[in-house]
Structure 1
Amino acid sequence: MVKILILGTGSMATNHAAAFKAAPNSSVVAAVEPDADRRAAFGKQFGIENLFPDLESAIAWGGFDAAANVTPDAVHYPTTMRLLEAGKHVFCEKPLATNYPLALEMAETAEAKGVINMVNFTYRNSPALQKARELVASGAIGEIRHFEASYLQSWLVGKQWGDWRTESRWLWRLSEEHGSKGVLGDVGVHIVDFASFAADSNVATVESRLKTFHKAPGDKIGDYPLDANDSAVMTAEFANGALGTITATRFATGHANDLSLALFGTAGALEVKTDGRASSLRICTGEKDIDGQIWKDVETPPVATTYERFVIACNTGVNGDPDFRRAADIQRILDLCFAQDKARTLTAAAPAVEG
């Protein structure tokens, strides 16, 4: 039975607490939250008696085996490193860190300590995604030549999740000053993992464009400068030679939270779709179906969630996937995208040189 501490009590923390309480051989025994009112409310909601105002107090108490790190992005590194120093297993929210060097240090430290380390790429929970990877690995669609992947949200044009203009839980995601890496760091990390996992091949090269749109007078609301990227477009090549596009945006009107992936191979094609709850998979393969452009639905049996796999890993001592090393590899791709965008901006701003 693994005893888990929840670090942070924001909206995503409720998912972690509920999932770990429901998982077999798992018990949520403690939580950390600086705000007294939120700490008390969270403890009451999930029946957690051991509540702490800071991580150091929880570590001094020591009555837990593992921690679910649900702090803001910029806090992942210092808090996870402290947990690793204490010999605790860590299940961290994405992105693992705000840049590749920090993410790599976290991965190397976790590996050196011999503790379980996993990252919550939640869309690995999609049965369709897992089945697609299985089919690719079996050669069902031959060698992949082309792919198209997208993560579409619309909360900057709709109010399905509330009004972003008035709620801090959305405004911080639009502000680099508040630790946001924009849509690329928030959901781009998911779609890069989603596409490369299904293709059973890592991203080898990437060229990208990022865009921040005007959204308010002075591009600022209260204490939040609205300077983080809102849309990202990548042209990428996988290590297996496949070429394609990966996109992410918060301006996709009509799409609440939709991930789509198409993989086109020499002997067929796959289409994966999910909204984080339901998912679907279609295949076009075989001479008759390829010539007739006929797509057929594929059955996708249930799979263990990332939460359940973390619990299994803690109880067996065998690390699960996706681990910190995988998250660091994804962060390396994102860092390259940011660097390319910065270089492009600096080049555009440079004065022309007279001959």
Structure 2
Amino acid sequence: MTEKKLDIGVLGVGEIALGPHGVLPNLHHIAHKVNLVALADPVEDRLAAAAKTYAVPHTFASLDELLQLDELDAVVNLTPIPAHGDTSRRILEAGKHLALEKPVATTLDDANAIVDLAEEQGLTVVVSPPNMLYPSRSEARKLIRDGVIGRIAFARARPSGAGPAAGAPWRDPSWFYREGSGPTFDVGVYGIHELLGLLGPVRRVTAFSGITDPVRTVRRGPFKGLEVEVTADDNTLMLLDFGDSVFATVDSTFNVYAAKGPRIEVYGREGALNVNYNINQSGPAPQLEVYRTDITGSEFDGWIAPDLGHLAGAETWALALKRALLVDHLADCVLGGTPSALGADLARHALEIMLGAYESARTGTAVTIESTFTDVEPPTPALGSQW
């Protein structure tokens, strides 16, 4: 008997779909789970080239046309940030499962509608970023929740970079600096999602936010020298209150050209934990480092690197899939009944924090976060036979 696969369509064949770390070049790793049956994009030449490269049988110029395809089970939504809310609502209204790039939307109305539609129709939604599927993040979560570093006091997340105008030679970066985009939606969302996965829901947010330079100049690539008007805040610092005197800071800025500190730091009453880099990066330090205060009989004594040998296969799998890891998780949820660790309610909570940060910066007050989310243990990846 032929094993059921998920028939998917991809909406948007830009860099997130086509780049080396993108979805389409890495779907072959999960060919035993998904069939890529359709692509949709309004740019005809780009659409035709992608369909030829990946042998996709159906192409469409619009989402409405794509959704008419009867065999379609799910849509991978890779549209630009401002389009996420409307397109995702339409995908769910059509009865299709959804994998969506971050953030879930740019308004709470759209995010609420996405959560409600998925629940009403019994559809699965998984929303990027997929970082809590990375083995290092799952292990960090386990160490924290097993009490290895004691009661948590505070944490820091450092997701920022120099911004697309500084180091993205493959596209016109202008839209990243316009209203409706900016570093909070582009990169800050990673740090927020990671902290939510490690520490749980946030109760309040306080922030400072503004525009560093009104004009940015593209440094390299085909748009080198282009002057980009900055109308979205490009420099935001957030303080998150998780309740019970547990706090965290997140930087969300296009002003970090280099940094040597850990990507995530978590401090507890009996030690500390560092997550040193992302899954697609490498460095001299181990992915995880733990400091434990000197307690008789403890396996920890000062800084150590926990043995992650048992996660080697999962690490290789995540490194191979890159952005297709999101699609892999969707397939596992729909076909295998795995609970979504990247659900729409989690993404809505993250969006409310981001919007609350902007409100706090405008008003000078702490903003209460009303939503919450179901805290799902990240799954152990169902590895392909080649791993």
Relative to the length of structure 2, the TM-score reads: 0.79
Could you say if the C-alpha distance between residues 144 and 54 of structure 1 is closer, same or farther in structure 2, counting changes exceeding 3 Å?
same
Q: Give the Cα separation in 1 of the matches to 2:123 and 2:26.
A: 21
Q: Give the Cα separation in 2 of the matches to 1:193 and 1:82.
A: 25
SS at match of 2:263: strand
What do residues 189-240 of structure 1 show as CA deviations (whole Å, max 9, x unaligned)?
11111122123x222211101121225389xx98964111212111222135
Cα displacement (A) at 1:341: 2.2
Equivalence map 1:321-336=2 (5 Å):
321-336=341-356
Cα displacement (A) at 1:141: 1.3
Structure 2 residue identity aligned to 1:334: M
Q: What does residue 322 of structure 2 align with?
A: none
Q: Does 1:8 find its partner at 2:12?
A: yes
**8 Å Cα contact 2:11-2:39 kept in structure 1:** yes
Q: Does 1:274 find its partner at 2:277?
A: yes
Could you say if the C-alpha distance between residues 259 and 116 of structure 1 is closer, same or farther in structure 2, counting changes exceeding 3 Å?
farther
Could you say if the C-alpha distance between residues 252 and 293 of structure 1 is closer, same or farther in structure 2, counting changes exceeding 3 Å?
farther
SS at match of 2:118: helix
Q: Give the Cα separation in 2 of the matches to 1:142 and 1:2.
A: 42
Cα displacement (A) at 1:80: 1.3
Structure 2 residue identity aligned to 1:144: I
**8 Å Cα contact 1:21-1:27 kept in structure 2:** no
Q: What does residue 204 of structure 1 align with?
A: 203
Which has the larger helix fraction? 1
Cα RMSD, aligned residues only: 2.7
Q: Does 1:265 find its partner at 2:299?
A: no
Higher mean C-alpha displacement, 8-17 vs 32-41: 8-17
Q: What does residue 321 of structure 2 align with?
A: none
Higher mean C-alpha displacement, 150-159 vs 129-138: 150-159
Q: Does 1:283 find its partner at 2:287?
A: no
Q: What does residue 238 of structure 2 align with?
A: 234
Q: What does residue 348 of structure 1 align with?
A: none
Could you say if the C-alpha distance between residues 112 and 106 of structure 1 is closer, same or farther in structure 2, counting changes exceeding 3 Å?
same
Q: Give the Cα separation in 1 of the matches to 2:55 and 2:271.
A: 51
Q: What does residue 47 of structure 1 align with?
A: 55
SS at match of 2:17: helix
Structure 2 residue identity aligned to 1:204: R
Equivalence map 1:157-306=2 (5 Å):
158-159=166-167, 161-162=168-169, 167-168=171-172, 170-176=173-179, 179-180=180-181, 182-199=182-199, 201-216=200-215, 225-254=229-258, 260-278=263-281, 280-287=287-294, 294-300=302-308, 301=311, 302=314, 305-306=325-326
Relative to the length of structure 1, the TM-score reads: 0.86
SS at match of 1:287: coil
Q: What does residue 137 of structure 1 align with?
A: 145
Q: What does residue 77 of structure 2 align with?
A: 69
Q: What does residue 88 of structure 1 align with?
A: 96
Cα displacement (A) at 1:33: 0.6
Q: Give the Cα separation in 2 of the matches to 1:117 and 1:243.
A: 29
Gaps of 5+ in 2: 218-224, 319-324, 366-387
Q: What does residue 25 of structure 2 align with?
A: 18
**8 Å Cα contact 1:259-1:275 kept in structure 2:** no
Q: Give the Cα separation in 2 of the matches to 1:156 and 1:27.
A: 32
Paired positions, count: 332
**8 Å Cα contact 2:215-2:227 kept in structure 1:** no
Gaps of 5+ in 1: 346-355
Using the aligned pairs only, state the percent identity: 23
Could you say if the C-alpha distance between residues 30 and 259 of structure 1 is closer, same or farther in structure 2, counting changes exceeding 3 Å?
farther
Q: Which runs of 4+ in 1 moved over 4 A?
A: 221-224
**8 Å Cα contact 1:128-1:273 kept in structure 2:** no
